[in-house]
Amino acid sequence: MLNPYLDIHPDVQTALNEGRPVVALESTIISHGMPYPENVQTALRVEQAVRENGAVPATIAILKGRLKVGLSREEIAYLGQQGQSAVKTSRRDIPFIVATQGDGATTVASTMILANMAGIRIFATGGIGGVHRGAETSFDISADLQELAHTKVAVVCAGIKSILDLGLTLEYLETQGVPVVGYQTSTLPAFYSRESAFGVDYKLDTPEQIATALDAKWKMALEGGAVIANPIPGSYSLPAGDIEYVIRSALKEMEKEGITGKASTPFLLAKVAEMTEGNSLKANIALILNNAALAAKIAVAYAQLQRRR
């Protein structure tokens, strides 16, 4: 059935028709995850990293009520300039943005939904949402985790960011049947740091091994996605202790200002960036480029498996 709201970029559509590898990219990281103009520069470099590794990039957003899979440079710049005034769009928001012909920056959850509509299986980002610290009283659990449980898209990220409760996030993913794969690592990377106190479910060492596991999952019609955790390049990783201090003060400030709901994650991201004086931004850029490259390699291997059928 044709989706009357979906616009797939011609380059992306041609690649999909020909069975060539495509990597989905989100847009909330552009609008809410990084400051302008680094956000636009990074988004374009991320697309380039996908191309250099043999796949076609498809940055995803909602523009004038159209579900866009694959954006032009101008459209990426437009979202980047909007910054935090763009609407952060998760699963619940999609029909309302469409109905009002509005613009929306897609989170991991909604990017997965649109990628799946287009038939894209591999997605790269920086960090996913998760179970927040203090969730036992706030109930703040990202819709990204539910989406991973139900939607057939693998998300390559730098592990779980320590603004979240890593242990609770892993428990939630286990309950929901979402595998957490470590790329060449058996410990869960924690975004800015290569390591954490937690383990992953499976350590896989090559893009081909990851593609083979995803192919098996989906060929037997198991619903849902997977988290592919790719450690930040060593030269950019930040000491876990420094980050912990920064996160605690950001959390205190968030409570003081009474920030809750969908504003929490963007607030914490911006505070951490501000307090580390740009070091976290450099790390963020390095890890997303690293994730884009790995996602492209997985997409290449996955496309090869589909052709062999």
Interface residues toward ligand PSU, by CB under 6 A: 26, 28-29, 32-33, 107-108, 126-129, 142-144, 161, 262, 265, 269
| CA R_g for the chain | 18
What minimum distance in Å lies between the beta carbon of 95 and ligand PSU? 18
Residues in region 243-262 near Mn ion by CB under 5 A: none
Q: DSSP for 7-70?
A: EE-HHHHHHHHTT--EEEE-SHHHHTSS-TTHHHHHHHHHHHHHHHTT-EEEEEEEETTEEEES
Query: Would you call 45 exposed, middle or buried from its count of C-beta atoms within 10 A (0-12, 13-18, 19+)?
Result: middle
34 with 81: CB under 8 angstroms? no
What minimum distance in Å lies between the beta carbon of 168 and ligand PSU? 13
Element (H, E) at 88: strand 87-89
The alpha carbon of residue 35 and the mean position of all alpha carbons in its chain are separated, in whole angstroms, by 17
Q: Distances in Å between the alpha carbon of 9 and those of 6, 15, 71, 196?
A: 10, 10, 7, 39
What minimum distance in Å lies between the beta carbon of 31 and ligand PSU? 9
> For ligand PSU, which is the closer residue by CB, 33 or 179?
33
| C-alpha span between 215 and 218 (Å, rounded) | 5
- Token pair recorded at residue 130: 């998760």
Residues in region 95-154 near Mn ion by CB under 5 A: 140
Residue 116 binds which of Mn ion, ligand PSU, none (CB < 5-8 A, kind-dependent): none
By C-alpha distance, which of 238, 236, 243 is closest to 290?
236
> For ligand PSU, which is the closer residue by CB, 164 or 301?
164
> For ligand PSU, which is the closer residue by CB, 50 or 109?
109
Residue 103 binds which of Mn ion, ligand PSU, none (CB < 5-8 A, kind-dependent): none
Q: Which residues are catalytic, by number?
A: 26, 161
> For ligand PSU, which is the closer residue by CB, 22 or 60?
60
What minimum distance in Å lies between the beta carbon of 194 and Mn ion? 26
| C-alpha span between 80 and 240 (Å, rounded) | 29
By C-alpha distance, which of 40, 165, 158, 64 is closest to 108?
158
> For ligand PSU, which is the closer residue by CB, 26 or 103?
26
What minimum distance in Å lies between the beta carbon of 241 and Mn ion? 26
| Residues forming the site for Mn ion (CB under 5 A) | 140
